[in-house]
Homo-oligomer: A and B are copies of this chain.
Amino acid sequence: MSNATNVTGRPGTAREKILNAALTVIRTKGFNATTVDDLCAAAGVTKGAFFHHFDSKDALGVAAAEHWSRVTSAFFAEAPYHRHDDPLDRVLAYFAFRRDILQGELPEFTCLVGTMAQEMHQSSRAIATACDASMSGHAATIEPYVAQAMEQRGLDPSGIHTGWSAGSLALHMQAVLQGAFILAKAKGGPGVAEESVDHLSRYVRLLFANHPKKGKAT
C-alpha cells in the first residue's frame, strides 16, 4: 500500500532486488509466464516484501519498465558512439554498437519493454504506455544526432523524398531492432538480428549518400 514513493531505491533493498530480478526473469519467460513467486525467488525475498513494495503484479510491470529505462539510459550514455565529432558518424557508430552487443544468450541482449509491450498491450495500457515511454525515450536520444547530420549536410527529407523526419527515422531504428529481436527469438540465435542492423546502417548511409559534409559537391 506504500508505493511509488521510493523512486530512488537504496541498493540492496528488496525493491531493488526485485526490480533487477524482473529484468532478466521477464526477458527470459515473458511477463505472463513469470509468476510473482518466480520474481521473489530470483530476488531472494518473500512475497510479503513483494507486495509491500508493489501494489500488484501489473504495478511491478510498470516499475520494471521504468527501471529498464534508467538502466539502459545509463548503459547507452556510457557507450563509445557519442564520442565521434561528426553527427552521422555517431549514428553509424550507434548501429555498430547495437550490433556488437548482440552477444550471449537471447535474454541478455533482448529488450524488456519490447517483450512486455507485445504481451501486455491489450491487458494493461499502463504497462504498454511505460514501454512506449522507454522505447520512445531511447529513440529521442539519437534523434538529435540524426537531426544534426541532416542539417549539417543539407538533407531536407520533405523535399527530396516522400517525407520523413529525424524523429520518424529514430523510431524506425527501434522498430528494426525490435523486429530483429523477434526473428532472433524465432530462430534461436542473433544471426538474423545482425544482418538486419546491417541493413539499417546501409539505409542510413544511402540516405546521406549524396549529401557530403561541407560544401563538397558530388
Interface, chain A (partner B; CB < 8 A): 28-30, 32-33, 106-107, 113-115, 117-123, 125, 128-129, 131-132, 135, 161-162, 164, 168-169, 171-172, 174-183, 185-188, 192-193, 195-196, 198-199, 202-203, 206-207, 209
Contact = CB atoms under 8 A, between A and B. Distances in A.
Contact of A169 (B106, B135, B181, B199): B199
Contact of A121 (B106, B162, B177, B203): B106
Copies of chain A in the complex: 2
A182 B122 contact: no
Given A122-B107, A132-B187, A203-B199, A182 B32 contact: no
Nearest to A163: B198
B33 A119 contact: yes
A120 B32 CA distance: 11
Nearest to A167: B195
Contacts of A183: 132, 135, 171, 174-175, 178
